[in-house]
């Protein structure tokens, strides 16, 4: 099974900061990766699909990049509503796997 | 607007079978090129994909759970279901159902249920 290693597991940042989260796949997955945001007690929400495409309705401060094994989610200017946990998900093969998550907390 | 809603017992005894149903509203479960998935999350932990089903009946399961999981679909009721056998306390989690859709030759979960907590305890 493809392993997804997400880092960091948590970070503290201030409103307005640029935040970067990475995911590394144990083997090449082309661009078959999505990013999800989850707030406490809520279901995850799709932010990015196909590694770099912004889901409809998601603010443009979110962006994704990468291909193959290394991927990045960037929040260009952190807003109060962005404090949440973020997960990557690979959908390259028939056994999907999530990264371990990154909790973004207020500094 | 597509909506998904999980239902089923919130408490299951060890060694028994966990059974959940996801009811889809706002669209036919058999229209379009979608698959329907189950995902779970133990308290304070990350997300784990359990498996998926196409409306054709074709399924894929997480290899770590494959021996215990069955996902089925009932298009007449616009529902799909999860059965997880021989449960233990490690299966205690919030269980989500979700729709997978194809986006630019990739797939993503674009609609999710609110989640339902299932506790395994005697």
Does B110 contact A46 at a Cβ distance shorter than 8 Å? yes
Mutate to test the interface with B, among A54, A91, A97 (most CBs of B within 10 A): A91
Euclidean distance between CA atoms B101 and B98, whole angstroms? 10
Q: Which two tokens stand for residue B77?
A: 């009721």
Q: Where are the alpha helices (DSSP H) in B38-96?
A: none
CA distances from B118 to A41, B10, B44 (A): 14, 4, 14
Tell which wins on pLDDT, B104 or A32. Answer: A32
What's CA B116's distance to the chain center, in Å?
10
What tens digit of pLDDT does each residue of B46-99 get? Answer: 999 999 999 888 999 999 999 999 999 999 999 999 999 999 999 999 999 999
Q: What is the pLDDT of residue B10?
A: 97
Q: What is the pLDDT of residue A42?
A: 98
Tell which wins on pLDDT, A68 or B106. Answer: A68
Q: What is the pLDDT of residue B67?
A: 97
Q: What is the pLDDT of residue A65?
A: 98
Q: What is the pLDDT of residue B33?
A: 86
Query: Binning pLDDT at 50, 70 and 90, where does residue B28 land?
Result: very high
Give me the residue from A34, A43, A91 closest to B112, CB to CB: A43
Q: What is the pLDDT of residue B14?
A: 98
Q: Which two tokens stand for residue A71?
A: 């991927």
Q: Which residue in B78, B74, B114, B77 sits closest to B98, CA to CA?
A: B114
Listed as ranges, residues in chain A with pLDDT below 70 are none
Q: What is the pLDDT of residue B8?
A: 97
Euclidean distance between CA atoms B98 and B103, whole angstroms? 15
CA distances from A76 to A18, A58, A72, B114 (A): 5, 13, 12, 29
- Mean pLDDT rounded to a whole number for chain B: 96
DSSP state of A55: P
Does B103 contact A91 at a Cβ distance shorter than 8 Å? no
Compute the nearest-CA separation of A101 from chain B (Å).
6
| HSE-CB of B33 using CA atoms within 13 angstroms | 7
| HSE-CB of A69 using CA atoms within 13 angstroms | 7
Q: What is the pLDDT of residue B105?
A: 81
Euclidean distance between CA atoms A10 and A85, whole angstroms? 8
Does A98 contact B46 at a Cβ distance shorter than 8 Å? yes
């Amino acid at each position: 099974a493809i392993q997804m290693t997400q880092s960091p597991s948590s970070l503290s940042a201030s409103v307005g900061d640029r935040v970067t989260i990475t995911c590394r796949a144990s083997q090449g997955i082309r661009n078959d990766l999505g990013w999800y945001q989850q707030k406490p007690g809520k279901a995850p929400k799709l932010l990015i699909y196909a590694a770099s495409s912004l889901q409809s309705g998601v603010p443009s401060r979110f962006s994704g990049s990468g291909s193959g094994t290394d991927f990045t989610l960037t929040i260009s200017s952190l807003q109060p509503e962005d404090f949440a946990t973020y997960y990557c998900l690979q959908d390259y093969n028939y056994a999907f796997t999530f990264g371990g998550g990154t909790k973004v907390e207020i500094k | 607007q597509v909506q998904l809603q999980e239902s089923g017992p919130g408490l299951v005894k060890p060694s028994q079978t966990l059974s959940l149903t996801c009811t889809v509203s706002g669209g036919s479960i058999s229209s379009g090129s979608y698959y329907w998935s189950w995902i779970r999350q133990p308290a304070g932990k990350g997300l784990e994909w359990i498996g998926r089903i196409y409306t054709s009946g074709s399924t894929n399961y997480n290899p770590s759970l494959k021996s215990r999981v069955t996902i089925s679909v009932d298009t007449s009721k616009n529902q799909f279901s999860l059965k997880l056998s021989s449960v233990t306390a490690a299966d205690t989690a919030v269980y989500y159902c979700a729709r997978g859709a194809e986006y630019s030759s990739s797939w993503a979960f674009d609609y999710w249920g609110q989640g339902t907590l299932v506790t395994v305890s005697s």
